[in-house]
Every structure is written in structure tokens, then in C-alpha cells.
Amino acid sequence: MKTKRTGDWLEVQIPEKWDGYTIEKILKKEWNVPRKLMHSFRSNREVTLNNENPHWKTAKVKEGDTLRIRLFRPQALEVTPTYMDIDVIYEDDHLLVVNKPAGIFTHPNTPDDHDTLVNGVAFYFQMNGIESTPKYVHRLDRDTSGAILFAKHDLAIAMLGKELQERKIKRTYIALAQGKVKPRRGEIDQPIGKDRHHPVRRRVSEGGQPAVTHYEMITYDPAHKVSLIKLQLQTGRTHQIRVHLSHIGHPLVGDKMYGGKGSFDYNQALHAAKLTLIHPFTEKEIKCLAKPSSDSPFFTSEQVEGLGDENTGI
């Protein structure tokens, strides 16, 4: 789909598949615009068709028409910006993919938290004239590194959130697990709930939420008795990979909370190496590889690059 930003507005050239649609159908059914945002667009006359303001329910578009939506209205920054060396993997007018280092939280947990990735991305927005608050689509644990997806405006976060809910955003992790994982390839389908004996820890629990992890062992290091594995989440529960690997007897190296061993500066050997999604506006596939830091005690750039040409499934 052909799109172009002009100031605060996004111009969309109507594709053949939308020929005969009403404006309302495009906004509601194709883009899943939230009700509050629909009301704002309508009240402020922020959607036009060929530079006119027709009735959304009756006006039908034709292939080649120009639909304009004011997506980039300036918004006040709602978090404290903090200088941080941000590793940008991908960026356009709608979204940003950042390679998160291990050791920082994704977002503030209290009003006094100013050293999270969100604060760092807010500073990046401020320095680059992006008048918005960064909106994270998903999170990573503090000690997990790798790709995190941010939206730059309200419609992007709504559309990407729906993609995540429908499992159209694929995240591939690499990890070091204790022991030789068997079978070499498999699925862990075990519900996860809170551990009532610990304020943070999760556990496999019959009464927990459904959780499915797919994994495949890449190599086994007999000298250190660890397996390099890649994983994909079918669901996104808190600590899911950590809980599932511990449950099958192969906890992450360094993950002491779940039985892992290792004397590393990092707490756990887990890296979100690859992020694949369909762009909500251009409808093109976006593939992002997040290389580990040069001082990572666990992973190498070559291991991540090896995922580049693979299909997303495990």
C-alpha cells in the first residue's frame, strides 16, 4: 500500500482491494481504530477524502483516491526523558524497534523510575523532534536483552497491539540452557501462574494462564554442559521462557530465581534476537535482527545473523 507523510497527516492511496469501501469500514474493519480515537478524528475533522470531508458511513472510496488522516498531531511528552545510548534497529514514521541492553527495565514501575528504556527512548524522541510519548508494544524482563517494538502514535499502538494479540508479531529468542535439551525440538504447553510464596516468581500451575513455548536446540557444548536453543512464544506470559525451561529441567544459565547456575555479571542467558511483523500501514513484512552487545558473556553476532534468512516458525 502506498503511503506518504505530509506534516501531521498521513496520505494513503486507496488500493484496489478497498475499492467501494466506506471510510468508516476502512477505519473500523481494516485499521481497527479505537472508539475514542474515532471520536477524536470525527470531532476534529481529521480524516479527508480527496481533500473533502464526506460522511464516513455513506462516502465510498475508489482505487487511486487519496485518504488523509491526521495521525501525527503533536503530543506532550508524558515521561521524563533520560539520556541513553539507544541502539535503533528499525525506524519509520509509525514505529521504532530498539535493541534493549540487559540490566534495565522496559518501563517505569514507580513515579521515581527514570532510568528505564522508555525514558531513554523518550530522550531519543525529544532529540529527534518526535512530538509524542513512546508506547511499548511488548516488554522484556530487566535482564533479558534484545528487540523491543515501540509505536510513535495512538493508531500505531492500537494496530500493533492487535497484531500482537493475534500472534502476527513473531519474536525469536536465543538462550543458553543447562544440560542437553531433549528432545532436540519440541513444544512446552504448561499453564503459568503466580507463585504465592514469592512476590515476583511464577510457576507452572494448573490454575494458571495458558502458555505455549516452541523451542529447538541449535548446538550442545559438552565442555560447559549447556545447550544453545532458539525459542518462540505462542503466548506472552511473565517469565514464560524462564518458567518453562526450568519446568523441563533445563533452566537458563545464570537464572538463579529458577534454578540456573553460573557466575556471570548478567542474571540470565536470554536474548530477543529476531522480531518479525507485518507493517500496519504499508503491509510489508519487517524483519529485525538484534545483535547482542559486544561484551555479552553468552551470545555472538554470528548466532543472531544465522536467524536472518530462516522462516519464523520453529
Provide the annotated active-site residues.
141
Q: What is the 3-state secondary structure (H, E, C) of the chain?
A: CCEEEECCEEEEECCHHHCCCEHHHHHHHHCCCCHHHHHHHHHCCCEEECCECCCCCCCECCCCCEEEECCCCCCCCCCCCCCCCCCEEEECCCEEEEEECCCCCCCCCCCCCCCCHHHHHHHHHHHCCCCCCCEECCCCCCCCEEEEEEECCHHHHHHHHHHHHCCCCEEEEEEEEECCCCCCEEEEECCEEECCCCCCCEEECCCCECCEEEEEEEEEECCCCEEEEEEEECCCCCCHHHHHHHHCCCCECCCHHHCCCCCCCCCCCEEEEEEEEECCCCCCEEEEECCCCCCCCCCCHHHHHCCCCCCCCC
Burial group, residue 111, by CB count within 10 angstroms (0-12, 13-18, 19+): exposed
Bond prior to 101 in cis (omega within 30° of 0): no
